[in-house]
Amino acid sequence: MSKYKKPSTWGMPDSMAESLGKAMEQKPKSNPLVDLMTSLSQAAEEIADLEPDPTDWAGWISYVLDELQLQAANDFKPAAFESMLLSLKTSLESRIENGKW
């Protein structure tokens, strides 16, 4: 038996209590950014499992960039893609120079 009283004794209509109960039982909505980060982490793990040598990962990274380039072309944003590549280049160079990788 639940330690809580029946919803009708909470001072709210049964229909409202029932709706509240259903809402509390639902799983929290997922965050698309967290879902994407999770997917990318899983993809990175799969790449590392398939290709144990990090020097082989460059091909996979190029593949992802090719797919992103297609998306940019489809969205008529090729200049934005080139800008992202330049930003990525700067970021990579900075991390390498500062010993972060």
**Tens digit of pLDDT for each residue in 40-72?**
999 999 999 999 999 999 999 999 999 999 999
Q: 87 lies in which domain range?
A: 32-97
- The pLDDT score that the predictor gives to residue 13 is 75
Q: Which amino acid is at 35?
A: D
Total domain count, the chain: 1
Question: Span 19-43, mean pLDDT?
Answer: 87
Question: Span 19-28, mean pLDDT?
Answer: 76
What is the C-alpha separation between 15 and 2, in angstroms, rounded? 19
Task: Indicate whether 6 belongs to any domain.
Answer: no
Question: Span 14-23, mean pLDDT?
Answer: 77
* In the predicted structure, residue 21 carries a pLDDT above the cut 90: no
Task: Indicate whether 66 belongs to any domain.
Answer: yes
Task: Indicate whether 82 belongs to any domain.
Answer: yes
Q: Position of tokens 């080139």?
A: 82
* In the predicted structure, residue 73 carries a pLDDT above the cut 80: yes
Structure tokens at 28: 């929290």
Task: Indicate whether 78 belongs to any domain.
Answer: yes
Task: Indicate whether 64 belongs to any domain.
Answer: yes
> Where would I find the beta strands (DSSP E) of 1-101?
none
Spatial contact of 80 and 74, defined as CB atoms under 8 Å apart: no
Residue 98: pLDDT band (50, 70, 90) is: very high
The chain-wide mean pLDDT, for the chain, equals 87
Structure tokens at 11: 């001072």
- The pLDDT score that the predictor gives to residue 70 is 95
What is the C-alpha separation between 85 and 16, in angstroms, rounded? 53
What is the C-alpha separation between 2 and 51, in angstroms, rounded? 53
